Amino acid sequence: MIKTVWVKAFNQQKMRQEEYEEPTGEVKKGFLSGAKPVMETKKRWAPIKDEYHDHLIDGRRLTSDLEKALNELESAGFTILSVTPVISGNWGSSNVRGYTDVIGWSYSLTEGFTVVARKD
């Protein structure tokens, strides 16, 4: 029996840099307020909720999803025959000044993987 599994590549979530405060471990004594922890401002990357790139895939997630699919097939007694990436792309061009200068661009994305397995 042959089984084919599709492992989809999801788009990468957009990130932004945000500031947060973290205690340094030191304590500062105030005149009336008593002891206060000394805070240090740091920066970190945080995901923007529900915003995804339209031209970047989440490679870490794709790797994890592919590993999970392969492990599930093997534990069900299947032998993996092939793992094939499915790639698509886009291109465009534009006139810069009249018809003499043209610029162009193109890119390709891995949409996911097709896994073919066999169980005897």
Enumerate the domain spans of the chain: 2-20+40-118
Question: How confident is the model at residue 3, as a pLDDT?
Answer: 97
pTM of the model: 0.67
DSSP3 helix / strand / coil % (the chain, rounded to 5): 15, 70, 15
**How do 79-97 and 101-118 pair as beta strands?**
antiparallel
Exposure b/e, 89-113, CB count within 10 A at least 16 = b? eeeeeeeeeeeeeeeeeeeebebbb
- Could you read off the pLDDT of 34-91 as tens digits, one per residue? 788 888 999 988 888 888 888 788 999 999 999 999 999 999 999 999 999 999 988 9
Angle at 44 between CA 59 and CA 62, to 5 degrees: 10
**In the structure, what pLDDT confidence band is assigned to residue 7 with cuts at 50, 70 and 90?**
very high
Question: How confident is the model at residue 49, as a pLDDT?
Answer: 87
**Which residues, 6 or more positions from 75, have their beta carbon under 8 angstroms from its beta carbon?**
none
Phi-psi region of 98 (alpha: psi -120 to 50; beta: other; left: phi over 0): left
Question: How confident is the model at residue 46, as a pLDDT?
Answer: 87
